[in-house]
Amino acid sequence: MDAGHLAVRFVGSASRHAGRPATRVAAGEGWAVRTYAELAADVRRLAARLIELGLEPGDRVAIFAPNLPEWTLTDLACASAGLVSVPLYDTSTAPQARHILGDAGCRMVFVGGNEELAKVSEVRAELPALERVVSFEALSVPEGATTLAAELAAAPSDTSAVDVRLEAATADDLATIIYTSGTTGDPKGVMLTHRGFTHQVNVLNDYFDITPDDVSLCFLPLSHALERAWTYEVLDNGSLNTYVPDPRTVPESMIRARPTLMVSVPRLFEKVYLAAHDKVAESKVKQRIMAWALRVGHDYHTELDQGRTPDPYLHLRFFVADKLVLRSVRDAMGGPKKVLACGGAPLRRDVEEFFFACGLVVLQGYGLTETSPLVSFPSATMHRFGTVGRVVDGGEVRLGDEDEIWYRGPNLMMGYWNKHEDTAAALVDGWLHTGDVGHLDADGYLTITDRIKDLIVTSNGKNIAPSSIEGLLASDPLFEHTLLLGDNRPYLTLLVAPSLPHLENVGRQLHLTWSHRDELLGHPEVLAELRRRVEALTTKLAGYEQIRDLRLLIEDFTLENGLLTPTLKVKRKEVERRFSQLVDDMYQKAGHPRK
């Protein structure tokens, strides 16, 4: 059997760690736990059932559900049967589900429960290839669907057909088609191989000493390549994966599960950072204590990071700082971490340094769905603030036109499903043109500047990277989400989805009265205060990078309203389209009509 194949790899891990807990999910006050032996048995039974139902190697099976242990069970069963899994975000709408299920030609779809089933039922008549719908949960209206429990119960007693499929499996087989959520346009199906994932598992095993005693918190969508790849890493080492179906419960889940391993996107770290600073905002004394504690924590952990023993006086000061401030941040994150990774978007350096001072090293990496997903990542001993680590072993990076990052390596996609022209445009002579701008330092550490398609070119010909400016604004908790505008315009403007509690604080500080929050959004004094804050945060920027006007939005940017991607990145074009009237108003009032 080919050890570069995910299913073969899992069989080996399950054999080594049979009695250890593999998956768990909250069940009342306790946990519902599967051991590696139990998970492997269910995977094999489901794989045998899928083969019995007539699914052939290469057939596509969709998984449309939140993060649940059954998600991974189904994924591994598909791999064991030589099938291709096609994940859908559980937040997908019925039309989005129709596009992916139809484009991939899925013969089966596993759904989380009634909510996802209703969306599939709405469009099922338009999906002639779809033969079977299976729910992870019991159904209130099971019409047209069966359940995972029923399928497992119907599995044949002779599962030798699974061994036949595993013997024929190779690392270069297509493992999955992941449809990129994207910030614009219809999603494309990225074809990833088993080798792409197992290569990264090998790389990460060299970077970290992950053991069966470790616990990971699985809360980023498994439909996204980052959490999916990390789950393979967790299971390869016999660790326990704790599933969080509802991402809104992450703060309490971290405390309850006390994970030693975790991957996240910047928003979680930013929220903890802002919450910590919020707690001391009303007291100058508490602010000074926090600032002192963070300086001491930074000095202390710098000594440790560089292999030196802190002197007794620094050790004593750290003991006090830790008791007063730093320990509470670690507790909010569920305790110490062996691996605390961040990806999906750039993390501000001040947030990185805040966690470092608290004894939590955030390892910021970079990747894309098209690279399964890692391009670069730091090891525990080779991290550098402001960078996304060095290129993963076996991969190569070069900088092309406009400093675009090009990548090639064994974890590169096969191409886009049924999109030959898009594949040819993205993969040129074996190099993936990522669309991201960056640079490499003398030691090979990679820094990401921005997305090429996000760069703003003003009508005066100035090139501006919006994410770095938006990052500056995010240091003020009032700015929940921001979107910088100005492409083909004479100057920059800003849309702000404010933190409503902080907006009310501004209203109280200005001694305003209001019946509804909406009244604050267009209030001249509120807008003046926001302009003052923006000016203070951006004062060191060049003149053409200064923001000339702004507007507040009552509608927040969320997954539900389609303004955020599942990894919490702002869909720039969608926001600009939806609020085009506000945007035009800013420029027209200054005598600059719409472009």
- Assess whether pLDDT exceeds 60 at residue 452: yes
Q: What is the pLDDT of residues 143-167, one digit of tens each?
A: 889 999 999 999 999 999 999 999 9
Structure tokens at 187: 């999603």
- Assess whether pLDDT exceeds 80 at residue 502: yes
Q: Tell me whether residue 278 is in a domain.
A: no
Comparing 29-38, 319-328, 544-553, the range with the smallest average pLDDT is 544-553
Q: What is the pLDDT of residues 220-271, one digit of tens each?
A: 999 999 999 999 999 999 999 999 999 989 999 999 999 999 999 998 999 9
Q: What is the pLDDT of the chain when averaged over all its residues? A: 93
If you write DSSP's letter for every residue of 217-241 in order, what string do you get? EE-S-TTSHHHHHHHHHHHHTTPEE
Tell me the C-alpha distance between 378 and 363, whole Å: 6
Q: Please measure the distance between the N-terminal and C-terminal CA atoms of the chain and give it in whole angstroms.
A: 60
What dihedral do alpha carbons 41, 224, 149, 10 form, nearest 10°?
A: 0
- Residue 183's pLDDT is 45
Q: Are strands 215-218 and 427-428 parallel, antiparallel or unpaired?
A: unpaired
> Within 10 A of 363 (CB to CB), how many other CB atoms are there?
22
Q: What is the pLDDT of residues 425-442, one digit of tens each?
A: 999 999 999 999 999 999
Do 305 and 299 contact (CB within 8 A), yes or no? no
Q: What is the pLDDT of residues 347-364, one digit of tens each?
A: 889 999 999 999 999 999
Q: Tell me whether residue 309 is in a domain.
A: no
Residue whose tokens read 């088993």: 194
CATH of residue 55's domain is: 3.40.50.12780
Q: What's the domain count of the chain? A: 2
Mapped onto helix, strand or coil, the DSSP state of residue 530 is helix
Q: Tell me whether residue 96 is in a domain.
A: yes
- Residue 201's pLDDT is 98
Tell me the C-alpha distance between 117 and 143, whole Å: 10
Tell me the C-alpha distance between 77 and 71, whole Å: 10
CATH of residue 574's domain is: 3.30.300.30
Q: Are strands 215-218 and 240-243 parallel, antiparallel or unpaired?
A: parallel
> Within 10 A of 81 (CB to CB), how many other CB atoms are there?
28
Last residue of a domain, one of 218, 245, 272: 245
Q: 340: part of which helix (H) or strand (E)?
A: strand 339-342
Kindly list the distances between the CA atom of residue 11 and the CA atoms of 34, 43, 156, in Å, as whole numbers in the listed order: 15, 10, 19
Q: Tell me whether residue 145 is in a domain.
A: yes
Tell me the C-alpha distance between 544 and 462, whole Å: 7
Q: Tell me whether residue 40 is in a domain.
A: yes
Q: Tell me whether residue 179 is in a domain.
A: no
Q: Tell me whether residue 88 is in a domain.
A: yes
- Assess whether pLDDT exceeds 60 at residue 594: no
Reported pTM: 0.89
Q: Using omega within 30 degrees of 0 as the cis cutoff, is the peptide bond preceding 373 cis?
A: yes
Do 61 and 85 contact (CB within 8 A), yes or no? yes
Tell me the C-alpha distance between 109 and 126, whole Å: 14
Comparing 26-40, 290-304, 494-508, the range with the smallest average pLDDT is 494-508
- Assess whether pLDDT exceeds 70 at residue 185: no
Last residue of a domain, one of 186, 218, 245: 245
Q: What is the pLDDT of residues 79-97, one digit of tens each?
A: 999 999 999 999 899 999 9
Last residue of a domain, one of 196, 224, 245: 245
Q: What is the pLDDT of residues 161-175, one digit of tens each?
A: 999 999 999 999 999
- Residue 559's pLDDT is 80
Domain containing 554 equals: 455-589
Q: Tell me whether residue 101 is in a domain.
A: yes
Residue whose tokens read 């709405």: 122
pLDDT, mean of residues 405-421:
97
